[in-house]
Copies of this chain bind each other. A is one copy, B any other.
Amino acid sequence: MADNSFGRLFRMTSWGESHGPAIGCVVDGVPPRVALTQSDIQVWLDRRRPGQSRFTTQRKEPDMVKILSGVYQGLTTGTPISLMIENVDQRSKDYGEIEQTYRPGHADFTYDVKYGIRDPRGGGRSSARETASRVAAGGVARRVLAEIDGNILIRGALIQIGDQKIDRAKWDWAAVEDNPFWCPDADMVAVWEDLLDATRKAGSSLGAVVEIVASGVPAGLGAPVYGKLDADLASAMMGINAVKGVEIGAGFGAAALNGEENADEMRMSGDEVSFLSNQAGGVLGGISTGQDIVLRFAVKPTSSILTPRQTVTRAGEDAEVSTKGRHDPCVGIRAVPVGEAMMAITLVDHLLRHRGQVGAPGRFPPPA
C-alpha cells in the first residue's frame, strides 16, 4: 500500500521509526535549478526540535538533516532528494514494558490489530517523530515556492490550549517568535505557562488549536471536485499525528452564518479584484482566490500521561497503564511548524499541478 507518500507532482515518501537507526524522506518531483542547502532545511527542523523549552519533550534530538541525493553544486537537479535524520537519543529501555500493554489514545492497539506486529519502541512508526520528515520536506517546498513565486508567506500560530483561546484582536505575528508557544497574543503567554505547568505537574496533558495562514498565494490553485485545494489541505492536516479536526475560513462557524454574511463581496481595486471579507478562507470551489488561505486544526491532548488508565494487554487481559518518560504536555505546540510544512508541500504540489495542466498562472481578467 503506497501509504507513506504525500503529494502528486511534488511528492514526499516518508520512512522510519522513532527508535530505528534513522528517519527520513524522499522528495520527488522537485523542479531543477532551485538553490538548496542543508541549512535551508535545518532552519525549519530547528524550530520543531524538542527540548527547547520546558513545555516540550526533553528528548534530546539534534535532528541534523543530511541531503543524500538530488542536489549538485548547491542546485537541485530535478532528481529525487533523499533526506536522512539519524536518531540519536533513543533510550529504548523507557519503552520496554509497553510492548505488551496498549496505551489508550495511542495507535498501539490498532497497529497490532491491523498488522499483527509493531515496533513498540517510542511509538515506532506512529511516533510524532515522523513529523520531522514532514518539516524537512517542507523546507524543500519552501525553497521551491520562493523560486517560483517569491510572494508566498506561510506562517503558523497556536491559538488555543485547553479551553484558553487567544484574543484575536491582539494578534501580532511578531509575538509568535517571542514565546515557546508560537502564541500571537502576548497577553496569553503567561496564562498558558501557568496552565501547562499545572498540567505537567498533574501528569496530565492538554489539547490545542493551531492556525496556519498562507499569504500571497496566487489565485487559481486547486481543481474542481476531487482535486480541491481545501480537500488536499484537509487531508494534509488531518494526517498529522493527534489532529482531530480541520476547518478553513469560517469553518464550523459557517454553519451559523446566513448567505449574506458568508458570501465574500468583491470590488475592483485598480486592475485587481479585492474581497471585502474572507469567510471562504481563500478557497472557493476548491480553487484559491488570491486571498490569504486561513485554516485551523485541533490537536488532541498528548495520550502519554502519568495518570494510570484502564486498558488491555496484547494477550487479551485487563490491565492498567501509565506512561512515564519524556513527553510533551501539549503536542499542539510542536504541531505548528508541522502544519506550516504541510501547507508548503500542498501549495507547491498544486503550483506544479496547475502549471502542468494550464501552463500559465491564473490571471484576471480572463480572455474575453
Contact = CB atoms under 8 A, between A and B. Distances in A.
Interface string A213-249: 0000001111111111011111111110100111111
Interface in A4-26: 4-9, 11, 13-17, 20-24, 26
A284 interface: yes
Nearest to A209: B255
A220 B238 CA distance: 18
Contact of A258 (B15, B23, B199, B364): B199
A208 B262 CA distance: 12
Interface in A60-75: 66, 68-70, 72, 75
A117 interface: yes
A130 B79 CA distance: 12
Of listed A75, A109, A112, residue having the most chain B CB within 10 A: A109
Given A1-B9, A1-B28, A245-B246, A68 B107 contact: no
A255 to B, nearest CB: 4
A29, A220, A266, A357 — most chain B CB neighbours (10 Å): A357
Contact of A260 (B77, B204, B352, B355): B204
A266 B307 contact: no
A238 to B, nearest CB: 4
B115 A358 contact: yes
Interface stretch (A41-49, A118-126, A181-189): A118-126
A24 B24 CA distance: 12
Interface stretch (A50-58, A166-174, A271-279): A271-279
A107 B4 contact: no
Interface string A274-298: 0010011101111111100000001
A260 B204 CA distance: 7
Interface residues of A, number: 168
Contacts of A113: 219-220, 287, 290, 362-364, 366
A244 B235 contact: no
Contacts of A93: none
A257 interface: yes
A237 to B, nearest CB: 8
A190 interface: no
Contact of A298 (B254, B285, B299, B305): B254
Contact of A300 (B223, B250, B311, B358): B250
A39 interface: no
A230 to B, nearest CB: 5
Given A110-B220, A263-B305, A314-B366, 14 more contacts: A1-B356, A15-B82, A24-B82, A32-B114, A72-B124, A78-B115, A79-B124, A79-B224, A109-B266, A230-B239, A231-B238, A316-B364, A316-B365, A352-B357
29 contacts: A1-B28, A1-B29, A1-B356, A2-B11, A3-B225, A3-B227, A4-B224, A9-B353, A15-B80, A15-B81, A16-B68, A22-B68, A26-B26, A33-B116, A75-B117, A102-B266, A113-B364, A162-B256, A206-B258, A228-B238, A247-B298, A250-B300, A255-B300, A255-B332, A259-B304, A263-B305, A265-B309, A316-B365, A352-B357
Q: Which 6 A-B pairs have the closest CB atoms?
A: A107-B285, A3-B227, A356-B356, A245-B247, A105-B263, A110-B287
